[in-house]
Structure 1
């Protein structure tokens, strides 16, 4: 009898152990909270009377002491992942919610799970950017986000996932270039069917071509090689294709030059030498005359002294002067084949005055990489042989003739202000229209405002946002009052940051007249005033509306170009702010990071909000003028901008031409 009794006691003990082994109550409540807050089409049978380790899709460790897996593929989950639910499963290793209808993004608490190894969220309706916080998942081995509605760029911080073996981002709306991801153990990589552009990094070229298919602007191994966006120069007059290095005839066999050819070459060399000598003499004489008359600073070109100083190299059409492309040299670049092209290039190379910039041959030899695609065209970063870096914007769908294009660029060339980025040079041909700008390595306000969260960078504090707002307003007021020009494309990606914290600059200004009317032309994407129907005819009041949206973007931290703020496409940024303020929830408007970093600036934030709301008034006549906006912002925080508008204008007038041409801001006067 002793043996059976001992066996019974042993079985009772084992059974008691199995019953007691149960995940903590906090994990059970987290799972129930997730299921309760997420509508679902299939009944899962989760209830508090049974062990959580036996619930559908839930798996615990060997001792049933903690939840390690949640797998709910295709169970009809609808809506966003509720925060503070799955993030309370500290030992979760596998999360699979694929093939449902999950909206929104991934909660930050899920991206903080230290043990998460596998994350499967493909075939859902996720939107927004890939959160940079994903880089905190140090144990992650597989990240699959395929076939969603994700947008924005691929974060470089994915390199922090050193254990990653599979990364699938295909079938989304990602844009920009692919970062150089160098993870040794990465075996599966796929970014096909997105809107990516630029060259494929060498670290990822080992993957097959189908990993990159469906991105029309991608190039480089394993896809076809990247082509230079610069048009090839036409051969000099009188040269046949066989005379061009690498031509068919020269590659097949060498030929001896005839006596007539040698004589022609000698004559051409003499002519070019004489032209070069004449150009140098004329420049020297012009310098002496200007020095004797006290005209212009040292190194100022003739075109600059004549009044085109603000553009550095945007010549007066037909003048043949300027530090950048001359009228004849532009023809050479486009293969126009004007007679004397070699001489024209030689004159451009010789330049006039010190620091004469770059010539066309420099630009043709420059290495280039894609910076991004915008509403007016694609921008490239080009590094010249002597080390100068410029931005070349390749315009698309230009609808004006050469004469009108030249006249418009000549007008833009007269703009001179430290809060406006000047056009440095331009080029026009039948097939190509290019604009050249100075390269500002600090990037755009949009990238700093929306690309900083969780990426290790310091978020924009209140002072930085106020300085950017004041810089944009000052640049716009200058365009309106001094040149009677309408910007037409104000948005945070067109506010570029200079090293001087008070000198953010508006770029891509007043380009709308050269394009055909289109609803997708500059000024759209959440910034366009409601009364603007023809994109070629924006007004100064429409500019003020766009500036108001920019101010709201600085205050809320929300991008007007993304999906609506209600998720159903019915509410844009100004209307959302109005609805919140109407309900007296003003504090809910402001960016969480701004509130956290703003300190005692709440009164200034509310005051700037009132300025922004005045700018986005529905009736154009109810909006203030740009100079009034500048005055109101200056009155809100006198210490943010350092200088008043008058001091800013005076500082520009006292700046050397070389500083202005390179985009270097003047030293700010002491307040």
Structure 2
């Protein structure tokens, strides 16, 4: 028995030393990559610190290996050095998109056998389709669009048997499309030089997936021409004498009639052209705002101020420039922002958000505010307060712009999206359920951000809702859209917080710390029930989410109130009931009976004490082979919640 214990101890010691050595090797690989490739000094990797703490680097739970490397838009230039990233053998997610990387993919990428997601879009890679990639049979998502790849697409793409998303658009691939018999859900080869017919295995995708390949046909595109040619005309049909006999002279009257008709047609065309010019001039006076770019109105109303070209307005132009907050990480100006390509992310109660990709590759979110009533002095004072807030669970304000016609805010881009999209989007088959541990992680990290706003910044959020809770891939959260309420008026329209507003907000039209707690309580109920806090999702007219939960609980305290997606997990009923009790305390109709935010956070952390990691949060499974972006429900080792008495 003693020998077995000694042997076990030696094995554990050997394993731990191996893990440590492996971690050191991967740290050296990351440093080799950063030291050998030019970049814009945005990555401040401290060699004396653990690589798991570096920006863009995520490790597995025991910190023995690098699990994810995300360096989008960090100004990386040139070829990926061989012998660097290829040594990260346990890597699951690699994102180097929106840089200026060039050359070919290093051969040692074939070592990344655990890779599930590879994002290399918007770079300058060249050469043929990387043969190394076709060896990564575990890939689920592959995006190498918007590069300079050439040559034909290999049939060996069929080796990627787990692939569900393949994005090859905006390159220079040529030749025929191979027959790809994968279970793809997303596919795009648009704007290449492909030709021939679309294979039947790919014909189910829309025309947009193949657009921009002028010699491609079949499937959703135009039918292909037949392979046989029309018979040649007989020699007799080309006999000049036979043709001349069929000619006849036109009479003088016919010639006059044709001339008059041509003159009339010419006059009509001139009149039509004159009408179109007038219409275009009228339309030009209206400021049209395209959704595909940063709004044209911003450019038109801001360009003179940004460049200082308007006569006598040099001082005003200087005052109306893009203002960066303390500790900023960006170095662009308003002109760069106006030139950026952009897409609408969403339209909210305070304005429209755009994803803007600048020419040098940086991606930011630009929020264009509407109905701002604050003066310039009041606006700048509030932005100064908001810009000083720094917390791991709060989205930092990076810059702002104020002019008479436009008010813009610039934030970091969060590619994982919002809690609202994760919780309510695509609830059909194929959806990866949001497990209990990750719901607790989301709730606690959001509470930490909100408690920081209340306690340290003394700032009321004023607009708490699921779409303003943004997600990190590890399910930590970022609170966004905070501190903007004062910019609009002393009265908050009821529809601004529809579904989340506290009862007193409808009467006083003012948000407070206590009304923030109420809104957060609704957010907890949303996580617990899986229901959006609007009447349509509750199936009953005139009832909100807190009253719906209370009506179910009053009849009998059962599992019916909880999200059906939580039924698959075991031994969590006690924690769910405890979190439900916290949520119901937050949504008390009497403001003074609600706990303060720091007390809400403490109670939630007490519920989550068991099985926690160093940051006080339980760690969920991180295998992305069973779901998108690495979120996999833990094994079903807990029994479904039963009827519980409080």
Report the TM-score, using the length of structure 2 for normalisation: 0.48
Report the TM-score, using the length of structure 1 for normalisation: 0.46
